[in-house]
Amino acid sequence: MATMEPVSGDPKKRVCYFFDSDIGGFHYGPGHPMKPTRVRMTHSLVMNYGLYKKMEIYRAKPATKREMTQFHSDDYIEFLSKVTPNNMNQYQKEQAKYTVGDDCPIFDGLFDYCAISAGGSMEGAARLSRDKCDIAINWAGGLHHAKKGEASGFCYVNDIVLGILELLRYHQRVLYIDIDVHHGDGVEEAFYTTDRVLTVSFHKYGEFFPGTGDLRDMGSGKGKRYACNFPLREGITDENYKRIFEPVINQVMESYRPGAIVLQCGTDSLSGDKLGCLNLSMRGHANCIRFVKSFNLPLLLLGGGGYTMRNVSRAWAYETGLAAGYELGATLPINEYYDYFGPDYKLDVRSSNMEDKNSVEYLERIKNVVLEHLREIGGPPGIQMTDPPLLPRDEVDMDAEEEERRDPDDRNRRLWDKGRQRDDEYSDSEDEGLGGRKNERSHRAGATTTNKNNENSATGGNAAMTAEGKRAGAGFGEDEEGEAGGDVGEEDEDEDEEMADNEKMEEARKVMASVGSVSAGGVGAGAIGGGDDTGDAAGRAKSTDAGEKTTPGPVPTTGVAGPSNVTNGASATTAVQPGVPAGSGDA
């Protein structure tokens, strides 16, 4: 039977976990090593271990074209939104321009896949910035190779850069740490000439993709010494990795004093990865998360590389448990991917006997150079901060704070923290919801969503309705009586709100443009422009919850279901039904 035990001495954290069930239905193509199904495998373990009781689970609003163009060029995002396998021959010139083809193929639902990945990272960053959680997790994110106007290394849209931009609205300095086997070149390039983001990457270097990340690459201009690279050789072990990781991060925290941390947890650094060449065990990899968490700063955990699916899902499930303050038991619970984990069916990835080519002398020499560069920073840079401009969701958040101060009997029961089971609560039946309680309001909100979607279908709908109307119908505008907002008779009010939103969006872009001096290929004022999408401001959603909270339900025991709306348009946000452990009892 699957078990989990609280980590002794570990303070409890508020954890928000983002997952979209559609992610498992995308496919890069036959023979391609990148398989998005690994995220769904991870989620299956998370749910069947019972971790859903210890954190809040959300389905993020997919990122819009306008939000993506805060970093990426308008024409590149427009190309991604239009190209499909059926019309790709019409875009041969663009494919060469944007390096889309072999490593980054065009597949069905490509733009929706990018929107889900980026949306989760941006929603997580928004909730961290607004102190709605201490740790946000998006295993569908971490695509660190994508450039401003170019796909690279299986990555199309750089969700990490978009998430960091969201954090920079509220934090003077952000630290980015990358433990993927490949260098985080896309993120480093984006912030190469600014001191507001310090990037640290531990990676294999030398005749290895992407070929960047030399020890001497330290940033330029205002960002000099704010890019830190630790080049590794093949076969590094847990002990040697810990020997370099902890001193470097300690020095970074002392010299830079970030306000928030983004940690890219690529699992291709694990032993036995199909494309990696390091030799970390699951616990050696997870030690990085444990150590970074100990600094008690807002933490955004993202996925990344990882091409042996059974090991990827093991590691990310285990690290989800650590984030929530629980050590998962060694015996895997029964889940829909149970056969993948044979023959031992254990939650473990062990190191192999491969040779470690990183000698102690080599590691000490590189570590000393890196530490000296970090000491030369001479303390955190001073940043002149102003109050961030209000976006539409900020007003909703202020309303929510007033709601918190009201009589509990009159308070809206859709508050996100109602879905987490207390440690001293036990349920006789998992099938009847958490603690035997059903969320009837969520049921009514879901019915409202169905009705609105049916009305849209009957009237033909339009592209804007896909991005805005369905989110409003999914319970984002719900009043105290549980009825969905945005009734048909409120067109005049909606028009006034839209005009106000556009004004606030212009203010937001001005703040984003003040991030600092950046490289031509990075984030600059020119990159933070409006795209063609008119649905959203240059921040996150208009919802207090910054995403749709999910309600536990039964886990399917069949194979992966394809996405319900893998089309070239924006995905509608509908309620997710994550599962309750099948056949494992109460964890």
Exposure letters 30-53 (e unless 16+ CB within 10 A, then b)? eeebbbbbbbbbbbbbbbbbbbbb
CA 94, 100, 106, 110 torsion-angle sign:
negative
Q: How far apart are the C-alpha atoms of 355 and 41, rounded to whole Å?
A: 31
* φ, ψ (nearest 5 deg) of residue 252: -60, -45
- Residue 341 half-sphere exposure, CB side, CA atoms within 13 Å? 25
With CA atoms as reference, report the closest residue to 385 among 162, 166, 170, 70: 170
| DSSP at 471 | H
Q: Please identify which residue in the block is written with the tokens 């649905």.
A: 535
With CA atoms as reference, report the closest residue to 142 among 309, 251, 267, 270: 267
- Cβ atoms of 537 and 404 within 8 Å: the answer is no
What pLDDT does residue 569 have? 36
Catalytic option among 27, 43, 145, 183: 145
Q: How far is CA 406 from CA 53, 59, 416, 477, 582, in A?
A: 27, 28, 16, 19, 39
Q: How far apart are the C-alpha atoms of 281 and 259, rounded to whole Å?
A: 30
Q: How far apart are the C-alpha atoms of 414 and 446, rounded to whole Å?
A: 13
What pLDDT does residue 480 have? 37
What pLDDT does residue 181 have? 98
What pLDDT does residue 298 have? 98
pTM as predicted: 0.73
* φ, ψ (nearest 5 deg) of residue 181: -70, -25
Cα first-last separation, the chain? 8
Exposure letters 547-563 (e unless 16+ CB within 10 A, then b)? bbbbbbeebeeeebeeb
Note down pLDDT in tens along the chain; length 587 residues. 678 999 988 888 999 999 999 999 999 999 999 999 999 999 999 999 999 999 999 999 999 999 999 999 999 999 999 999 999 999 999 999 999 998 999 999 999 999 999 999 999 999 999 999 999 999 999 999 999 999 999 999 999 999 999 999 999 999 999 999 999 999 999 999 999 999 999 999 999 999 999 999 999 999 999 999 999 999 999 999 999 999 999 999 999 999 999 999 999 999 999 999 999 999 999 999 999 999 999 999 999 999 999 999 999 999 999 999 999 999 999 999 999 999 999 999 999 999 999 999 999 999 999 999 999 998 888 765 556 655 555 555 555 555 554 444 443 333 444 455 555 554 444 444 444 444 444 444 444 444 444 444 444 444 433 333 333 333 333 333 333 334 444 445 555 556 656 665 565 565 455 555 444 444 443 333 334 443 444 446 444 344 556 544 444 433 333 333 333 333 333 334 343 333 333 43
Q: How far apart are the C-alpha atoms of 353 and 370, rounded to whole Å?
A: 29
27: annotated active-site residue: no
Which stretch of DSSP H or E encloses residue 309?
helix 309-324
